[in-house]
Amino acid sequence: MSIWRTQPTPELLESLSRGTFAERIGIRITEVGPDYLRATMPVTPEVHQPYGVLHGGVSVALAETVGSVAANLCVDRERLECFGQEINANHLRSISSGLLTATARPYHIGARTHVWGIEIRDERDKLVCVSRLTMAIVQRRQSA
């Protein structure tokens, strides 16, 4: 059974990142499963820290992006919106090039909070980073 309230199409997923930081660093949503969302991101010198490997903050940005998109696909977007409340990450392996794949799966989908687990893996399927993201679910603000 699918967890998605909004049926994600490739066009919708692509439009969400247009003109954003996620687009700038190359994050692309690539797969939607019944209970997970997957994204990829290339590791290039632009996302390195000064010592030539992936910046830990970029791993966190990838995790929060895929988790945030997933959470927002699970709620009634006419009434509700989701915002990151807390994120943590354990950086397990350094990487200086290649393609990362991040997979977000829910631990908890509640009325006021979601908790998502995100695994980031390299091209050899080795864990690079694991992250836990807590999302606050709030009433959508009315436009002025």
| pLDDT, tens digit (0-9, with 9 covering 90-100), for 30-76 | 999 999 999 999 999 999 999 999 999 999 999 999 999 999 999 99
Structural tokens at position 53: 């490997």
Q: Residue 2: which residues within 8 A CB-CB, separation 6 or more?
A: 34, 35
Which three-class secondary structure state does DSSP give residue 72?
Answer: helix
Q: Is the pTM for the entire model greater than 0.85?
A: yes
Which residues are within 8 A (CB) of 140 and not within 5 positions of it... i.e. 6 or more apart? 77, 78, 79, 80, 81
pLDDT tens for each residue of 92-108: 999 999 999 999 999 99
Burial tier of 133 (Cβ tally within 10 Å: 0-12, 13-18, 19+): buried
> CATH assignment of 10-139?
3.10.129.10
Q: Catalytic amino acids?
A: 64
